Amino acid sequence: MANMEIERKFLIKSLPENLASYPSKRFVQGYLSTDPVLRVRREGGEYFVTYKSRGLMEHEEYNLPLTKEAYEHLIKKADGIVIEKMRYFIPDKDGLVIEMDVFGGELDPLILAEVEFGSADQAKAYVPPEWFGREVTDDTAYHNSTMSKMGLPEKERRKNMKKIGIFMADGCEEIEALTVVDILRRAEIGIDMISITGKQQVTGSHGITFVCDRLISEADFSSYDGLVLPGGMPGTTSLGAHKTVVEQIKSFAKEGKLVSAICAAPSVLGDNDILQGKKATCHPGFEDRLAGADVVTEPVAADGNVITSRGMGTAIPFALSIVEYLGEEAKAAEIREAIVY
Residues 229 and 265: beta-carbon distance below 8 Å: yes
What are the residues whose beta carbons fall under 8 Å from the beta carbon of 327, sequence distance 6 or more? 155, 156, 157, 158, 159, 161
What SS3 state is found at 53? coil
| Enclosing H/E stretch for 21 | none
Residues catalogued as catalytic: 31
Question: What CA–CA distance (Å, rounded) separates 341 from 101?
Answer: 36
The most distant pair of C-alpha atoms in the chain lies apart, rounded to whole Å, by 75
Residues 113 and 129: beta-carbon distance below 8 Å: no
Question: What CA–CA distance (Å, rounded) separates 152 from 232?
Answer: 38
Question: Helices in the chain by DSSP H: which ranges?
Answer: 68-75, 120-125, 144-150, 154-159, 174-186, 235-241, 243-255, 266-271, 315-325, 329-338
Burial class (CB in 10 A: 0-12, 13-18, 19+), 139: middle
Residues 319 and 178: beta-carbon distance below 8 Å: no
C-alpha torsion sign, points 251, 253, 258, 264: positive
